[in-house]
Amino acid sequence: MKNLFIKILCLTAIVFYAKGVSAQMDAASFIRAGESDAKKLIGAYLQPVTKGLASGVNDAWYSTAKPLGLFGFDIRVGVGASIVNNDSKNYTLNGIGINSDPNSKFLLTPINGDRNTNQPTIAGDGKGSKLAVSALNPIDNSRIYIDTISSFSGTNSPVSLGAIPFIQVSLGLVKGTEIMFRMMPIQSGDFTSSGFGFGIKHSISQWIWGVDKLPIDISGIYTFNNNNLEYAFGSSFLDADRNSPNALATNEYKNSQKLEITTSGHQFGAIISKKLSFFTPYAGITINRATSQIAMKGIYPILSVRQNGVLPEKFNDNITDPISISNTVNSTRATLGFRMKFLLFTFGAEYNHAFSANQFNTFNAIFALNIQQLSPIPKL
């Protein structure tokens, strides 16, 4: 059976266009750790992904404070990344509350290391401890070995996902107002994505006496964004143990199992910029709120133990939608960036610094076709 967890990491690679990454984790063992502990393990391991997505969902909406002129338009594509801090590179089993109660239904026991040994997250370095999974014998409360969860492997990466690749269209309206719309149409094999976003930018400097005469632009901005990514596991689905009772038909598992990532966020704040020939530096201050969620949807078999007469019996306990992990960030952020324009085309990059430990700093880049104004006369 192919590794289900590798599919999660392949999704990461597809979205981020990064080098391939892998994890040495057996999907059956992972799910059979039980819903509660499995959620804690994958939540800790993928924390750089969930926090990174939430940190970057509000990125790259603008590259100048000057709104587009009347009927001017901007068509851009962009992508970004989040900078993983050291606190998000490892965790301990005790730290995430893995159940050590000997009377629990499932028990995870480190084979190498102990419960306070550092385990790498996906962005960390090295391999973690192997974990033995045992189930409670309902007859005499002894433990029955089920399987072994292989070591978690880190990728030793300084960055995680940030702004998901997007297409954005902006249009200039009257009174220094610009509206923006964003979409994310990606489809490749079993991977699909959808999403939408909208925003508005409005010139503040035009309403402040004296400031409207200065060679700078100041605008207010508000944006909202929602992204939905889905990856069907296809031939790498998790099937039941056919030697144990209570197994569903193979296609019931295969056709239902998938991974979903949902990210949404909004921000409001102010931007200032100064055009210097073809080069425009800008800065901003925004208040951000964002949430990301990773969920394993579908029906999954967990090998468990029940009483059959006077003997214990292993059986397939089928669970639906077993994993759902979310991460919410709230922060004030400062932005520094630049835009370079050559004729009708622009290139830009920016860095966002979060004033909160629960949010990563991010960076991104955009490329755009930009026409500043179409009415009353074209201005390039």
Of the spans 46-50, 112-116, 319-323, 333-337, which averages the highest pLDDT? 333-337
Most confident of 94-103, 300-309, 329-338: 329-338
Element (H, E) at 264: strand 258-273
**Run of H or E including 45:** helix 35-45
Least confident of 3-7, 17-21, 61-65: 17-21
What SS3 class is residue 39?
helix
User: Are residues 160 and 52 in contact, defined by beta-carbon separation less than 8 angstroms?
Assistant: yes
pLDDT of residue 1: 31
pLDDT at position 30: 66
Q: 36 CB contacts (<8 Å, ≥6 apart)?
A: 99, 106
Residue 270 has what DSSP assignment?
A: E
Span 339-354, mean pLDDT?
Answer: 95
Segment 86-98 shows an average pLDDT of 91
* CA-closest candidate to residue 5, choices 135, 122, 170: 122
Q: What is the DSSP letter of 17?
A: T
Q: How far apart are CA 103 and CA 275, in angstroms?
A: 68
pTM, rounded to two decimals: 0.85
